Amino acid sequence: MLNNPVKPQAHKIIDILKQTDAEWTFRVENELPIRHGQFMQLSLPKIGEAPISISGFGDGYADFTIRKVGKVTDELFNLKKGSNIFIRGCYGNGWPTEQLKGKNVVIIAGGTGVSPVKSLINQLYSEPGYAKEIYLILGFKNSQSILFTDELEQWKQAGHFHVICTLDNEDYPGWNKGMVTEFVKEIPFSSFGGNYECLVVGPPIMMKFAAKSLLEHQVPEDKIWMSFERKMSCAIGKCGHCRIDETYVCLDGPVFNYTVGKKLVD
């Protein structure tokens, strides 16, 4: 019998961690293989389905940090530990993990955009010899929207990490104030000898200007990687909701090199 590629399976919620009033992390039982930067389709019977990036994973589990923004996510927030959620995946091409070996890594992420890159950051944190120096520029709207506070503090303490945390328009102890683009000048690109890669993820407008700022600092286009999450529905390239020209974001992405990503304009 052929397997149905779009049939979800029930997975039990192991734990729920409240990040903010609007964002919770759901830890779900999982044995499916995962690569950093991929996504899964989460669904509830008679409610609907939504593509959600994987914010973390380990032996027997996957984490989904979800923002309460619509019909499906509203219902997810009514679930409890021990409830079942339906999942299919994993889908998409993730971050270029192999290309980061032995390089300096610059990661610029904003808001819930920290979620799709968090598992990779944690790998770079736990394996200090995998890459060289790690430069993080992480931005949130305000102090009420800060995610992953415990891990942020761990990253700040790591000897091979250089972490800049900023809030858009709020003065807050221990944090910078301003958009992430304002801090690209703090990255010592000239000292890297060309041995680096840049990863960018966040709202489309933030990614647009972050890439522009990197280019202004003479970062080559092929050293910039971006994660696009655009109207994905079926996740297998059949429905066409995520198609831009001849590119299917669900199949060809969601991670793209900027040489391709710069052309993905609606």
> Cα dihedral angle (227, 232, 234, 235), rounded to 10 degrees?
0
**DSSP per-residue codes, 206-265:** HHHHHHHHHHHTT--GGGEEEE---S--SSSSSS-TTEETTEEHHHH-BEEEHHHHTT--
Record the pTM.
Answer: 0.93
pLDDT given at position 264: 77
Compute the distance between CA of residue 264 and CA of residue 148 in angstroms, rounded to an integer.
30
pLDDT given at position 1: 42
- Looking at residues 100-129, what average pLDDT do you find? 96
Q: pLDDT tens digit string along 35-59?
A: 999 999 999 998 988 899 999 999 9
Given CA atoms 202, 205, 209, 212 in this order, what sign does their dihedral have? positive
50 vs 122, higher pLDDT:
122
Residue 198 labelled as part of a binding site: no
235 vs 189, higher pLDDT:
189
Q: pLDDT tens digit string along 59-90?
A: 999 999 999 888 888 999 999 999 999 999 88
Tell me the average pLDDT of the chain.
Answer: 91
- Topology adopted by domain 95-260: Rossmann fold (3.40.50)
For tokens 């994987």, the residue is 54
pLDDT given at position 238: 66
Range with the poorest average pLDDT among 115-119, 139-143, 238-242: 238-242
> Which residue type is seen at 178?
G
Compute the distance between CA of residue 189 and CA of residue 195 in angstroms, rounded to an integer.
9
Q: pLDDT tens digit string along 233-247?
A: 666 676 767 677 777
- Tokens found for residue 204: 């489309």
Q: Taking a C-beta distance cutoff of 8 angstroms, is the pair 88, 40 a contact? A: yes
122 vs 5, higher pLDDT:
122
- Looking at residues 181-187, what average pLDDT do you find? 97
> For residue 51, which phi and psi values (nearest 5 degrees)?
-80, 130
Domain residue ranges in the chain: 7-89, 95-260
Superfamily of domain 7-89: Translation factors (2.40.30.10)
Contacts of 52 (CB under 8 A, 6+ apart): 39, 40, 41, 42, 64, 66
Burial of 222 (0-12, 13-18, 19+ CB in 10 A): exposed
Q: Which residues pair with 11 in a beta bridge?
A: 85
Residue 234 labelled as part of a binding site: yes
pLDDT given at position 230: 59
